[in-house]
Each structure stands twice: as C-alpha cells, then as structure tokens.
Amino acid sequence: MLIGSRLRDMRVDKKLSQGDIERRTGLLRCYVSRVENGHTVPAVETLEKFARALEVPLYMLVYDGSGPVTTIARPKQNGNGKHWGSGRSESRQLQKLISQLAKMRESDRGLLMAMAVQTARRGSSRKAEKV
C-alpha cells in the first residue's frame, strides 16, 4: 500500500499545498514531503493528523481493498451523550482491535463478529430488564 501517494492525491484533490498541511498538522513541510515521496512511513498518530487535516476518516488513508468502501454506522450515544470510542483510552483499544482484525482470516473475523453481535444483544436485553 502506498500511503504517501494516496496522501498526495487527496491533498491535491482538495487543492491544498504542503504548507497548508504543515499549518493544519503542525508537521514540518519537509516531513510531509518525505511521507508523500515514500521516504518515511508515518506512525498511526501521524496518520490521524493527516486525516484531520484532509478532513477524511482515517480508514480512507489506509484502505487497500479492491471494492468500494462501505461506511460503518456510528455507535449510539451512551447516557452521558458521548459515543463509545470517542475517549482517548477507547480510541487506543479500537486501534488495537483494528490491528488484530487485520491479521485474522476472514472466517475468524466472521466468527468474532457473530460473537460480538450475540454479546451486544444479551447486553441490551439485560438493560431492558433493569428498567
């Protein structure tokens, strides 16, 4: 996967210069150039900065599939008005989960998804019983 060329294409499509990216991310322009030219591989935290600067979801920078990307529905808000995953520690957990899912076989991911659905249904039925 060529993240650098994808970053450059997105930046050019949005009519932004490397200087604009520098101002939006706080990264040096020479670093932006090195990433775009494939001389440096950015860390996930740096990719998050690029995604915010380009105003795109992070997955658009790393998606390497052949078909169209399907969007994922955001989880419902919990009692305090925040979405799960919006906190810093939850975000880290989610990134770890994504990393591990990428290493799994498709059949194992399907099994894990089925288990998650069943667990979520059980959890929501327990909440209804308490009310």
Each residue of 49-101: pLDDT tens digit?
999 999 888 888 887 766 655 555 555 555 555 666 666 777 778 778 887 88
pTM: 0.52
Distance, in Å, from the CA atom of 129 to the CA atom of 114, rounded to the nearest integer, reads 23
3-62, CATH topology level = 434 Repressor (Amino-terminal Domain) (1.10.260)
Distance, in Å, from the CA atom of 101 to the CA atom of 67, rounded to the nearest integer, reads 19
Q: Which structure tokens are listed for 102?
A: 């990428």
Distance, in Å, from the CA atom of 51 to the CA atom of 57, rounded to the nearest integer, reads 6
Q: Parse the chain into domains and list their residue ranges.
A: 3-62, 88-130
Give buried/exposed letters for 19-38 (b at 16+ CB in 10 A, else e). ebbbeebebeeebbbbbbee
- Average pLDDT of 6-24? 92
